[in-house]
Amino acid sequence: MTAIQWSDGAPIYRQLKERVVAMMLDGVLKPGDALPSVRQVAAEYQLNPITVSRAYQELADEALVEKRRGLGMYVTEEASRKLLMNERERFLQEEWPLVLERIARLGLRTEELLGGGAGNGNGNDKADAP
């Protein structure tokens, strides 16, 4: 894992869980890969092992990782598919309506959004010239 800046806005176990999820979505952790041990993560980031265990347990509860007795935690085969499906659904339900609202408020056209007529936004670009 890479350096993590912990924020005060959310519990550390949740931030750690989200970091592991991001690594799965980015392909850093692939199906079948082992997660670093609880002790290793706790030592590396100076966290309480219970905090790391809680993050890992939430990942296991969501079937994103599985416990293998005596071996540790491993990314499940369906983790990437589940995460991608969940992230897409969250985007469409929570973020996309806000994007559409902003597009409408700014009066943007499809061509501008797709790069066909994007100018500097002041209406004085070549696409608007007579």
What digits encode the pLDDT tens for the residues 54-69? 999 999 999 999 999 9
Structural domain that includes position 16:
12-77
Specify whether 53 is located in the same domain as 106: no
**Domain end (from 77, 109, 125):** 77
Specify whether 63 is located in the same domain as 45: yes
Place of tokens 């007795």: 69
Six-digit token string for 43: 């030592």
The average pLDDT across 39-66 equals: 95
Looking at 12-16, 91-95, 112-116, which range is the least confident one? 112-116
Specify whether 86 is located in the same domain as 107: yes
Torsion of CA 109, 110, 111, 112, to 10 degrees: 60
Specify whether 26 is located in the same domain as 68: yes
Using the predicted structure, report yes or no on whether residue 47 has a pLDDT greater than 90. yes
Select from 71, 54, 63 the least CA-distant residue to 14. 54
Specify whether 89 is located in the same domain as 72: no
Specify whether 43 is located in the same domain as 93: no
Place of tokens 């993590």: 4
Six-digit token string for 89: 């659904």
What digits encode the pLDDT tens for the residues 107-130? 999 888 888 655 555 544 444 444
Residue 45 belongs to a domain with what CATH number? 1.10.10.10
Specify whether 85 is located in the same domain as 104: yes
Specify whether 47 is located in the same domain as 94: no
The average pLDDT across 90-95 equals: 94
Phi, psi angles (nearest 5°) of residue 75: -65, 130
The average pLDDT across 91-105 equals: 94
Six-digit token string for 49: 């092992």
Q: Give the total number of structural domains in the chain.
A: 2
pTM, entire model: 0.69
8-state DSSP, 74: E
